[in-house]
Amino acid sequence: MTLKRPNIGRRAFLIGGTAAIAAGTTALVRLRKPQGNVQLPARPLDPSAGIRLTAARAQVPLLGPGTVPVNVWAYNGQVPGPELRIRQGKKLRVLLDNRLSEDTTIHWHGVRVPNPMDGVPKMTQPPVAPRTTYDYEFVVPDAGTFLYHPHAHSSEQIGRGLYGALIVEEPDPPAVDRELVWLLDDWRIDNGQIAGGFGNGMDALMNGRVGNTVTINGRVPQPVAVRPNERIRLRLLNIANARIFGLHFGGLRPVVIAIDGQPAPPRLADGPILLGPGMRTDLILDMTGKPGDRVQITDNFYNGLEYQLTSFTYASSPVRQTPLSTPIDLRPNPIAEPNLDGAEHHEMVFGGGMMSGMGGGMMGGGGMGWTVNGLVRTDDPSDALFTIPRGRTAVFDLRNETAWWHPIHLHGHSFRVISRNGTSTARKDRQDTILIPPQETAEIAFVADNPGDWMVHCHILEHQEAGMMATFRVS
């Protein structure tokens, strides 16, 4: 993929070396110097035992130790919500308890769930009203790195902190010294609290709600201590409303082992790790530095706005004398391979939004929103664009005719990326979310073997809510 780095306009700029950016007229966020070590995530919960997730208002110290807590919406009082960890093939059982003052649901992003468990209100389930509960129960078929989040008023509900990681463990994971799970988020902070104005027209028709404060696991990042020759499995998940990350790991040589939870043949990263909203990447990192070394992890996705996300600092005692060289391959998940002979082809044209940058006009008949095949959908997305016979291979020709990047997410299935801009891809990676640069195209293929009505939408949540969503039926 060619990396045309987008301009984010004058709405955002960096302040020295931290992950804080000022948006428009909102005040600069002053971040304290990092103290102590990185926030340790709370103990994972095993949802095969049956657990409760309570969605409610809470306060968390997003901006770091010694700062005023930020008012959020959270699962079980934490941002991120509890890490859920379950063995592949086990049954997840989660009771959602809605203590918000509006409807909500949980969507299990990337998991090939049975349709009634997919969490799309009015389409796969009734909305979960305030002071009511809902049971989610399904077997997790694939090992990998997944997300859970509401699928109701997503821009605001996810934007205020309702999300978490769902890790499905392989029966035989590669040997590592440590596993890190980094949920990347981006907040628009104004006077120490989350700014309002979710889903406003400017955000909706341009980059989406890109914020001014980046967090890892719900905290402004602090340096992470590592040991020489340590092998780390780093699970990266982007749950920001709109921010796209392009991560560099200094002198380290990250090896990609999974994309969107799905195993990929191990390969050295050949550029920045690109993560649009909803996307995940699993990396193996061998800490090849010496005691006292420091590795800066930087994000330079937006033109001219490079900043340091966090850093690794080497402690003095090595874990071992030389790096590990044991295998890191993951076993493939049990997903049917698409058969391109006799596949059904469907075109999805994404249009609308502003022409480009500030003050541009509208594109392609989008009116006040975004379109899929010429239609703006803003509310109930339940009329399917087309039906695919169950078991058939579907090829979607995704065409981004806008001036903006879009991470397009498919529900209920994992697809292979078979071409980009008309050229067959070398790797045919399996993904559930695909980042498509402006004016580019991609073809994805999958076996439509999961019956039901499924959404396909942009995971920039303001784009989704302004119409960039559609549904297809498998029956």
List residues near ligand C2O by CB under 6 A: 107, 109, 149, 151, 278, 409, 411, 455, 457, 459
Q: Rank residues 406 and 473 by Cβ distance to Cu ion and give the closer one.
A: 406
Amino acid identity of 443? E
Least distance between Cu ion and beta carbon 437 (Å): 11
Q: Out of ligand C2O, Cu ion, none, which partner does residue 107 contact, by CB within 5 to 8 A per kind?
A: ligand C2O
Q: Rank residues 218 and 278 by Cβ distance to ligand C2O and give the closer one.
A: 278
Q: Rank residues 56 and 375 by Cβ distance to Cu ion and give the closer one.
A: 375
Least distance between ligand C2O and beta carbon 259 (Å): 15
Q: Out of Cu ion, ligand C2O, none, which partner does residue 231 contact, by CB within 5 to 8 A per kind?
A: none
Q: Out of ligand C2O, Cu ion, none, which partner does residue 458 contact, by CB within 5 to 8 A per kind?
A: Cu ion
Q: What are phi and psi of 92, to 5 degrees?
A: -85, 140
Give the CB-nearest residue to ligand C2O: 109
Q: Rank residues 230 and 260 by Cβ distance to ligand C2O and give the closer one.
A: 260
Q: Out of ligand C2O, Cu ion, none, which partner does residue 278 contact, by CB within 5 to 8 A per kind?
A: ligand C2O
Least distance between Cu ion and beta carbon 468 (Å): 5
Q: Rank residues 233 and 411 by Cβ distance to ligand C2O and give the closer one.
A: 411
Q: Rank residues 149 and 420 by Cβ distance to ligand C2O and give the closer one.
A: 149
CA proximity to 163, closest of 143, 147, 181:
147
Q: Out of ligand C2O, Cu ion, none, which partner does residue 460 contact, by CB within 5 to 8 A per kind?
A: Cu ion
Token pair 């070394």 is found at: 293
Q: Out of Cu ion, ligand C2O, none, which partner does residue 406 contact, by CB within 5 to 8 A per kind?
A: Cu ion
**How many CB atoms neighbour CB 215 within 10 A?**
26
Token pair 């969507």 is found at: 107
Cα(385)–Cα(406) distance, integer angstroms: 20
Terminal CA-CA length for the chain: 34
* Residue 475: both structure tokens together: 């029956």
Q: Rank residues 210 and 469 by Cβ distance to ligand C2O and give the closer one.
A: 469
Can you give the binding site for Cu ion, defined by CB under 5 A? 406, 458, 460, 463
- The shares of helix, strand and coil residues in the chain, as percent rounded to the nearest 5, are 5, 40, 55
CA proximity to 372, closest of 275, 274, 458:
458
Cα(18)–Cα(33) distance, integer angstroms: 9
Least distance between ligand C2O and beta carbon 151 (Å): 6
Q: Which residues of 395-419 are buried (b: 16+ CB within 10 A; e: fewer)?
A: bbebbbbbbbbbbbbbbbbbbbbbb
Least distance between Cu ion and beta carbon 402 (Å): 8
Q: Which helix (H) or strand (E) holds 461?
A: helix 461-465
Q: Out of Cu ion, ligand C2O, none, which partner does residue 455 contact, by CB within 5 to 8 A per kind?
A: ligand C2O
Q: Out of Cu ion, ligand C2O, none, which partner does residue 216 contact, by CB within 5 to 8 A per kind?
A: none
Q: Out of ligand C2O, Cu ion, none, which partner does residue 420 contact, by CB within 5 to 8 A per kind?
A: none
* Residue 397: both structure tokens together: 């020709």
Q: Which residues contact 325 (CB under 8 A, 6 or more apart)?
A: none
Least distance between ligand C2O and beta carbon 219 (Å): 22
Least distance between Cu ion and beta carbon 202 (Å): 15
Q: Which residues contact 51 (CB under 8 A, 6 or more apart)?
A: 45, 82, 84, 93, 94, 95
Q: Which helix (H) or strand (E) holds 464?
A: helix 461-465
Q: Rank residues 149 and 416 by Cβ distance to ligand C2O and give the closer one.
A: 149
Least distance between ligand C2O and beta carbon 182 (Å): 17
Q: Rank residues 299 and 432 by Cβ distance to ligand C2O and give the closer one.
A: 432
Q: Out of Cu ion, ligand C2O, none, which partner does residue 109 contact, by CB within 5 to 8 A per kind?
A: ligand C2O
Q: Rank residues 63 and 460 by Cβ distance to Cu ion and give the closer one.
A: 460
Least distance between ligand C2O and beta carbon 109 (Å): 4
8 A C-beta contact, residue 295 and residue 270: no
Q: Which residues contact 382 (CB under 8 A, 6 or more apart)?
A: 122, 123, 453, 471
Cα(73)–Cα(155) distance, integer angstroms: 12
**How many CB atoms neighbour CB 339 within 10 A?**
12
Least distance between ligand C2O and beta carbon 238 (Å): 10
